[in-house]
Chain A
Amino acid sequence: MVKKTWIKGLLACSLATVVLAGCGSNNSDGKSAEGNNSGGKQQKLVISTWGFAEDFYNKEVYEPFEKAHNVKIVLETGNNADRLSKIMQGSSDVDVIYLSDYYAQQGIEAGVFEKIDRSHFKNLDHIYDIAKAPNGEDYGPAYTVGQLGIAYDPQATGTTIESWSDLWKPELKGKLTMPSITSTSGPMMVDAASKISGSADFNEDKAFEQLTALNPSVVKYYSKTSEFVNMFTQGEAAAGPIMQMYLSDLQKAVPGIEFVTPKEGAYAIINTLNVVKGSRNKQLAEEFIDWQLSQEVQEKAAKAKVDSPANKDVKLTDEEAVGVTYGADVVENLQTLDMAFVNSHLKAWTDRFNREVTR
């Protein structure tokens, strides 16, 4: 009896799926017809991005590109996970997607990106090596490389911080905020914890021992940068790992905050661009990526303190470089994680983090 109901249910479901799928393909057919008949008609490029600094992007990145290529840019905004998961569910018409390297790797493993042709990019030779192929030669480059270091309030903590291991100082008890394991910088903290445990190679068990020892100091594991800034403003936290780009925001909220590049080395926060599989405008999508890598866009973004540059030709004055990860000496010394390795361990790490660390 139960079985019968199930079969009926499944039948109904599959019927519904067919109907819905039918609608879907009709839609896209309509669109392609429109695209083909276009002639002089405007094309459409759908870009999936976070949506921060939207004014800057509209004015300096999207609008000039729209004018130069007679194209209408349509935005889809949201965080990494939401946007990627939407593409993985197959219900989107995104052409270009902005993602952190770590989520880009997930997308690659799920097979939702087009392979790019490196010969189509004029600006690739002008960007740092670290940015050229963060997820392999077949996939998109990074347009910004920032550093993850530590921000802290020397007055509120009553101590100085110079290294990752200083986060374990007893003075920071109840004043520390750490990235959640599932945020981009979470796995970097696992790596840092392994390093300070004294193990030469990555040692998962030792890393988790260290993180567990650190847990009593932590007020909250943050998953959004806005939470980090807010916790400093509210006096809930006075130290924690964060991207350098947020220093000026933090200093506006709490004067006297300092940013340090830890002795053991800061981590590279890499944001990438990829062409989504099934894009009808692959060529245009690649041109957009190339435009985002150009010295012109990169320099403007750095000066507006929107993105740290990946382009080596960008020149900044000392003042312009405050809060920006800038200069070959800095960028080329950043540490990177093997994203394929991180991805294959993330589920297990999250589990251990939930059970061992935050208990």
Chain B
Amino acid sequence: MKKRYLYLLLAPGFLFLTLFMIIPLLLTVGSTVFRDGGFSIGIYTQFFKDAYFLDILGTTLLVSVMTTLLCIFIGFPVAYYLSKQPPRRKGIMLALAIFPLLTSSVVRSFSWMIILGKNGLVNNLLTSFGLVKEPISILYTPTAMIIGLVHLFLPLILITLVGVMESIDHDLVQAAQSLGASKLTAFRKIIFPLSIPGLIVGSILVFVGSLTAYTTPALLGGKKRVVATFLYQNAITLNDWQAASAIATIMMIITFIVIGLMNKAAAKFKPKE
């Protein structure tokens, strides 16, 4: 095939995405600023002046950042361990790790309710060991949301990290050690920097996933709302699609900003060629 016809291979995907993603997204964004024949960003200034919305946005960002950090903290050592396993074993273990992604989020959230509730496993353990007198409130707090989201998104960071860590040339580590670097230094100077791309991609997936998650916060969260449940309230129960579209646009912009910032950070850590 001649090279200049190669782009035709993109056509089906491009057409599909244009029709079902790009145009709807433009319509969504457009509907928030083009109103009654005029252009106005009034709805956005209204949102950002609104203490209630800022409060929700704050909770959402806090939950997303905490989820991402916890996923990195838990996921990094596990991914390193997995990448060192023989292929067969690694396959089985990865499949097990991905399991939460394959369960419906409703089922998953209900399981957490049973574990975190006042009559739940955690509180029963705590009270029977005498660590607390009264059952503590975990369910229906932001903590419960974070626990549920970490459980959901940990596999994403594991998959991306394992993929990157596998491709790290072990000779580099041996070379460093033969030149007198300690194991820790070798890890810090070689393994960690070379894992950064996987870490960035994984973190973006987790962060964006947490930011937009609906079911888990709706079921595990209590009176504190997140942006996604607020959006749902506006769109479905109040039929205020303009407000809902504006919230969706704000979420998209936050996503782009976060991706941009993380890529910048990645560039800083990237080892010089």
Does A234 contact B114, Cβ atoms closer than 8 Å?
yes
Q: Which residues of A contact B222 (CB under 8 A)?
A: 219-220
Does A16 contact B30, Cβ atoms closer than 8 Å?
no
The segment from A7-15, A204-212, A291-299 that touches chain B is A7-15
Give Cα A128–Cα B219 distance, bound, in whole angstroms. 37
The segment from B116-124, B155-163, B189-197 that touches chain A is B116-124
A347 within 8 A of B: yes
The segment from A25-33, A58-66, A350-358 that touches chain B is A350-358
State which residues 1-26 of A face B: CB under 8 Å.
6, 9-10, 12-13, 16
Give Cα A10–Cα B31 distance, bound, in whole angstroms. 11
State which residues 85-124 of A face B: CB under 8 Å.
85, 88, 106
A304 within 8 A of B: no
Give Cα A295–Cα B120 distance, bound, in whole angstroms. 44
Does A236 contact B52, Cβ atoms closer than 8 Å?
no
* Contact flags B229-243 to A (C-beta < 8 A → 1, else 0): 000010111111000
Give Cα A234–Cα B18 distance, bound, in whole angstroms. 47
- Nearest CB of chain A from residue B218's CB, rounded to whole Å: 8
Q: Which residues of A contact B239 (CB under 8 A)?
A: 85, 88, 106
Q: A9 and B52 in contact (CB under 8 A), knowing A219-B222, A236-B118?
A: no
Q: Which residues of A contact B18 (CB under 8 A)?
A: 12
Q: Which residues of B contact A284 (CB under 8 A)?
A: none
A163 within 8 A of B: no
Does B113 contact A347, Cβ atoms closer than 8 Å?
no
| Closest A residue by C-beta to B114 | A234
Among B23, B110, B225, B240, point to the contact of A230 (Cβ < 8 A): B110
| Closest A residue by C-beta to B235 | A85
Does A236 contact B223, Cβ atoms closer than 8 Å?
no
Give Cα A152–Cα B236 distance, bound, in whole angstroms. 30
Q: A347 and B238 in contact (CB under 8 A), knowing A182-B233, A218-B223, A358-B223?
A: yes
Q: Which residues of A contact B119 (CB under 8 A)?
A: 233-235
- Nearest CB of chain A from residue B229's CB, rounded to whole Å: 10
Does B238 contact A350, Cβ atoms closer than 8 Å?
yes
Q: Which residues of A contact B34 (CB under 8 A)?
A: 6
Number of A residues with CB within 8 Å of any CB on chain B = 31
* Contact flags A333-359 to B (C-beta < 8 A → 1, else 0): 000000000000011001000110011
B100 within 8 A of A: no
Does A230 contact B52, Cβ atoms closer than 8 Å?
no
B147 within 8 A of A: no
Q: Which residues of B contact A12 (CB under 8 A)?
A: 18, 23
Does B23 contact A13, Cβ atoms closer than 8 Å?
yes
Does A234 contact B23, Cβ atoms closer than 8 Å?
no
Interface of A is mostly: helix
Q: Which residues of A contact B237 (CB under 8 A)?
A: 81, 182, 350
Does B238 contact A182, Cβ atoms closer than 8 Å?
yes
B198 within 8 A of A: no
Does B223 contact A13, Cβ atoms closer than 8 Å?
no
B26 within 8 A of A: yes
A82 within 8 A of B: yes
| Closest B residue by C-beta to A218 | B223
* Contact flags B131-172 to A (C-beta < 8 A → 1, else 0): 000010101100000000000000000000000000000000
- Nearest CB of chain A from residue B132's CB, rounded to whole Å: 14
Give Cα A10–Cα B235 distance, bound, in whole angstroms. 23
Among A10, A81, A174, A359, point to the contact of B30 (Cβ < 8 A): A10
B93 within 8 A of A: no
Does B140 contact A82, Cβ atoms closer than 8 Å?
no
Give Cα A215–Cα B236 distance, bound, in whole angstroms. 24
Besides A12-B23, A347-B240, 14 other A-B contacts (C-beta < 8 A): A85-B235, A85-B239, A174-B137, A215-B223, A218-B223, A234-B117, A234-B120, A235-B117, A235-B119, A235-B135, A236-B118, A350-B238, A355-B52, A359-B55
Q: Which residues of B contact A (CB under 8 A)?
A: 18-19, 23, 26-27, 30, 34, 52, 55, 110, 113-114, 117-120, 135, 137, 139-140, 219, 222-223, 225, 233, 235-240
A-B contact pairs, 8 of them (CB 8 A): A9-B23, A85-B239, A106-B239, A220-B223, A234-B113, A235-B135, A347-B240, A354-B225
Q: Which residues of A contact B (CB under 8 A)?
A: 6, 9-10, 12-13, 16, 81-82, 85, 88, 106, 174, 182, 215, 218-221, 227, 230, 233-236, 346-347, 350, 354-355, 358-359
